[in-house]
Amino acid sequence: MKKLLFLVVFFTSTTLFACDTPKGTIKDLKKLADKIEKNYKEYTEEDWEEVAEEYAKLAKEFKEQEYTKEELKEFGRQKGRIKGFMTKKTLNKWSENIENFANELGGGIEGFFEAIETIVEE
């Protein structure tokens, strides 16, 4: 009887916590989203590449399974969190690039007019 109870508990717990179930995949995606939220400010390009790879793997695993409407909604929510942080990173990079371009352009214009003044004075 104890062996049977042990086997039932063991089978149930391994089934509930297996990563290849929709709930396991959602749980893994939530862990990834939480990790990004905690560390995204310090992420390097390499870190973001790893995030993209892990995200793609989890999305693929999820598509290979059947899921309930609630699981689909939660998966979408976690996906949205991850994509939000990725978008924020991209926008910050664009903003930085635009600022650098504006500074470079400003310096270029100043240099151009300095050269023109020199030519006019001659």
Residue 75 CB neighbours (<10 A): 21
Q: CA-CA distances (angstroms) from residue 54 to 11, 15, 29, 69?
A: 28, 23, 9, 23
pLDDT at 1: 53
Q: Is the pTM higher than 0.85?
A: no
pLDDT at 27: 93
Burial of 43 (C-beta count, 10 Å sphere; 0-12/13-18/19+): middle
- Per residue of the chain (122 residues), give pLDDT as tens: 554 444 333 444 333 344 455 678 899 999 999 999 999 989 999 999 999 999 999 989 888 888 899 999 999 999 999 999 989 888 888 888 898 888 888 888 998 888 888 877 76
**What does the domain layout of the chain look like in residue ranges?**
84-122
